[in-house]
């Protein structure tokens, strides 16, 4: 038994409707620099958060560009970059089967417990 695996890259979805650039198979313009996703950690934050994307020729340039594009207003103290093609995304067409089943399972939220007075910051 064999499965056909459709590998979707970031930016791929909507392709059939011309909704996004075809990153994974784009050979038409070799001069175009690859797309990178940028994650910034703010001074107060512990986690790197997605800030946006940009074009750069390589990782070193991507970090410099990220510094120039996304940290101009003191947004961050640390930068991660990853080439967009390495990010795999869930398929929006499957949103129904992926996420809807959680709709009627409100009991999964921890709101049905009575917390003792002594427990703070919950």
Binding site for another protein (CB under 8 A): 33, 54-57, 60-61, 64-65, 68-69, 72
Least Å from the CB of residue 5 to another protein: 34
Cβ proximity to another protein: between 74 and 115 the closer is: 74
Q: Least CB distance from residue 70 to another protein, whole Å?
A: 10
CB atoms < 10 A from the CB of 63, how many?
16
> How far is 49 from 90, CA to CA, in rounded Å?
19
Under 8 Å between Cβ of 51 and 40: yes
Hey, is 89 helix, strand or coil? coil
Q: How far is the CB of 25 from another protein (least distance, A)?
A: 22
């Amino acid at each position: 038994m064999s499965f056909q695996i459709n590998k979707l890259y970031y930016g791929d979805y909507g392709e059939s409707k011309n909704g996004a650039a075809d990153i994974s198979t784009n050979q038409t313009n070799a001069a175009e620099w690859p797309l990178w996703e940028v994650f910034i950690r703010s001074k107060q934050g512990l986690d790197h958060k997605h800030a946006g994307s940009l074009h750069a020729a390589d990782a070193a340039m991507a970090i410099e560009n990220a510094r120039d594009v996304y940290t101009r207003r003191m947004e961050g103290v640390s930068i991660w970059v990853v080439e967009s093609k390495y990010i795999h995304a869930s398929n929006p067409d499957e949103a129904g089967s992926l996420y809807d089943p959680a709709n009627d399972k409100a009991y999964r939220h921890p709101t049905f417990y009575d917390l003792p007075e002594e427990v703070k910051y919950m």
